Amino acid sequence: MTAPSVLASVPAAAPAEGTPAAMAHQERLVLIGRCAAGIAHDVGNLLATIQAGIAALAERPELDAAARADIAEIGAVARRGSGLVRHLLACGRMLPSEPRRIELREAVADLASLLRHVMGPGIRLEVDAGDSDLPVRIDPTRFDQVLVNLAANARTAMPDGGSFRVRCRQENTTGAAVAVIEVQDTGIGIAPEILPRIFEPFFTTSRDRGTGLGLATVQEVVREAGGSIAVESRLGFGTCMRLCLPLCAAPAGGGGTILLVEDEALLRRLMEGALKTAGWTVLAADSAETALPLADAHPGLAAVVTDLELPGQDGGSLVLAIRERLARPDLPALIASGYADAAMGGLALPQATAYLSKPYTVPELLETLRRLVRPPEEPAGDSRGDRQMARKPARAGHP
């Protein structure tokens, strides 16, 4: 917010368990679930009919490219609607949530077209999804619903037009890196006396429209993902909501992004191919100088795999530099070298570091990496010889 004054703010805090407020809150959530499950079936049938009609229409040979593009967009919106029905059923405890690893940059960019439709004419939409990977673990459909709900609220707050901005970036909160989605409008703002109640189910200031469930749903989804919300608003200037979600590492079997640093071209190509075959996305560099910009552009790296002996800067120093730049002291790192294990152990690197002696086989590389980048529920640390593999989960927070 740009207004030079103190802003009213409220975190999305939950009432303490066992208190009357918490019990009342839970009763409301149960009621929400029953209402949601009650209408989801009928809405799902309507959407299924729409999707079937779209599929039939797309088969007509006389359609030109522009018409087919419109049909494809309608189909995409209908599929998103089906996802929202899944969320309604989940609210009714008829379907489980399905959190998975997504890239915020891609998810937000993909929603831009739908958000433009939500905002309608007279409101300028700005979407800055950033240029860095921000991997988080969240149900994709529910994440879509979060942004759509926030956009709908902002549209209501700007009856005379204005601007709506969505921005993604990484921030470092109390030493932990988090993904921040900042949603800001230039609407009428929220009165200070109302602000503490905006996340209450069924609370609404709109007598003729709205159910009062939009922000309650946003809060539920963000909490489920291990995140938090901070809200700032000033009457006459607008509202800014900051959603903080913990960055997540890659799954142990591959699928995340590896920064590979190896100065020997043939070995680098062979390692890159092996890692890609195992399911990893690979960023390859031949020196510390070329590796650092890649790390800066991909703060959600799953791990760094580097040779110890690099031109200009050794691999151990490179790992320390990347961890400091990304504010990720426990970023997993695998250091390979022809030196003896004991010599590499003398580097005294901190946690989440593994060592691999050359020559090594591809299975040895993949197994060491799998052990290094492992699910949080596995025990931290490995006391055997040359490996130190402790990990700490990222903490989410808000200012």
Higher pLDDT, 73 or 254: 73
Nearest CA among 2, 397, 1, 11 for reference residue 199: 11
d(CA 51, CA 268): 47
Q: Place 80 in a pLDDT band, splitting at 50, 70 and 90.
A: confident
Residue ranges covered by each domain of the chain: 13-96, 99-248, 257-372
> Which class for 33: exposed (0-12), middle (13-18), buried (19 or more C-beta within 10 A)?
middle
> Has domain 99-248 been given CATH number 3.40.50.2300?
no
Mean per-residue pLDDT, 251-269: 80
Tell me: the pLDDT tens digits for 166-206? 999 988 766 678 899 999 999 999 888 888 888 876 666 66
Amino acid at 288: A
Least Cα distance to 180 among 141, 128, 215 occurs for 128
**Residue-level pLDDT at 305:** 94
Q: Can you give the pLDDT at residue 106?
A: 86
Question: The tokens of 272 are what?
Answer: 């890159």
| Arithmetic mean of pLDDT, 312-322 | 89
pTM of the model: 0.50
Which residue(s) pair with 245 in the sheet? 179
How many CA within 13 A on the CB side of residue 333?
23
- Asked if domains 99-248 and 257-372 share a fold, the reply is no
- Asked if the peptide bond before residue 376 counts as cis, ω within 30 degrees of 0, the response is no
Q: In this predicted model, what pLDDT tens digit does every residue of 327-340 receive, in sequence order?
A: 888 899 999 876 54
CATH topology of domain 257-372: Rossmann fold (3.40.50)
Q: Helix (H, G, I), strand (E, B), or coil: what is residue 354?
A: strand
Residue with tokens 């509202």: 239
Higher pLDDT pick, 314 / 389: 314
